[in-house]
Structure 1
Amino acid sequence: MAKCKKSFKRFDQINVIPFIDIMLVLLVMVLTTATFIKQGVIPVDLPEAKATQKEETKKEVTVYVNAKGEMFFEKEKVNLTQLEQKLSGVSKKQTVVLRSDKESKFQDFVSVMDILKRLGHEQLYIVTKE
């Protein structure tokens, strides 16, 4: 009979590749959850209060910039100063929709964005065509 010699391989190192894979999956899960919390997508059951007033506010306001560089706030023609005054009266929770003509100057777009940033508006949509 022939003798079989068994060879054993000694493991002196730890394989960290599966550990890195698990950590990347956990990182993606944490970042995804943090994004949902910031946007308010996760449903929560809010407490009730008896002394509340229901505010009738529009969900969004629209700012237009046409090809001539004219600005409109909700279909009312305004200049930059008037636009800033009107946007300062808008709640930070309301969405601002920016509709800028593709032929308008980039500076007009930047001016509107500067006003929105200065006033602290973070709920912003920029409308484009597909």
Structure 2
Amino acid sequence: MIKLPKNEGLNIVPFIDIMLVLLAIVLSISTFIAHGQIKVELPKSEFAESSSDEKKKLLISVDENNVFYLDDKTATLDEVKEAVNTLDKEQLVELKSDKNSKFESFVQIIDILKGAKHTNFQIITERQR
């Protein structure tokens, strides 16, 4: 039988610290999963149309920090260019740009589409109420 000296027991403080860190990680990951998309505050337009339901389309997003995304995954401008160059000319490209992002970021995407002679794209906006 193991005897512990008096006034000494199991120290559970490190265990509690680890559990709190794991809880914080789970909560932060579950928040992203619940939203399931990149936060982009779209500009408002009086004549915004709903997105078409074509099977294959490429979504290019720019958030307020001017970070580019391809189908909700972070991408560099070169990766965006490569993705557009490999597309079929008939495939739809959807552009989402945060209203607080630099206009230059949006122009860079348009420039890539022009360079690839890709004209089948639509700009996603939010309907003005």
Deviations 1:41-97 (A, max 9, x none): xxxxxxxxxxxxxxxx94311000000000001112111111101111111100100
Structure with bigger RCO (C-alpha 8 Å, 6+ apart): 2
Aligned mate of 1:127, from 101, 114, 124: 124
Deviations 1:9-30 (A, max 9, x none): xxxxxxxxxxxxxxxxxxxxxx
Whole-Å separation in 1 of the counterparts to 2:81 and 2:56: 19
Aligned mate of 1:105, from 102, 107, 110: 102
User: Matched residue of 2:110: which SS?
Assistant: helix
Q: Report whether the alignment pairs 1:76 with 2:73.
A: yes
Aligned mate of 1:86, from 76, 83, 99: 83
Whole-Å separation in 2 of the counterparts to 1:73 and 1:109: 14
User: Matched residue of 2:69: which SS?
Assistant: strand
Q: Answer whether contact 1:62 1:99 (CA < 8 A) is retained.
A: yes
User: Quick one: which amino acid aligns to residue 70 of structure 1?
Assistant: V
User: Quick one: which amino acid aligns to residue 77 of structure 1?
Assistant: T
TM-score by length of 2: 0.55
Runs ≥4 in structure 1, deviation > 4 angstroms? none
Whole-Å separation in 1 of the counterparts to 2:101 and 2:90: 28
TM-score by length of 1: 0.54
Q: Answer whether contact 1:58 1:94 (CA < 8 A) is retained.
A: no
Unaligned regions of 5+ residues in structure 2, if any? 1-53
Unaligned regions of 5+ residues in structure 1, if any? 1-56
Residue-pair matches, total: 74
* Bigger radius of gyration: 1
Whole-Å separation in 1 of the counterparts to 2:62 and 2:120: 18
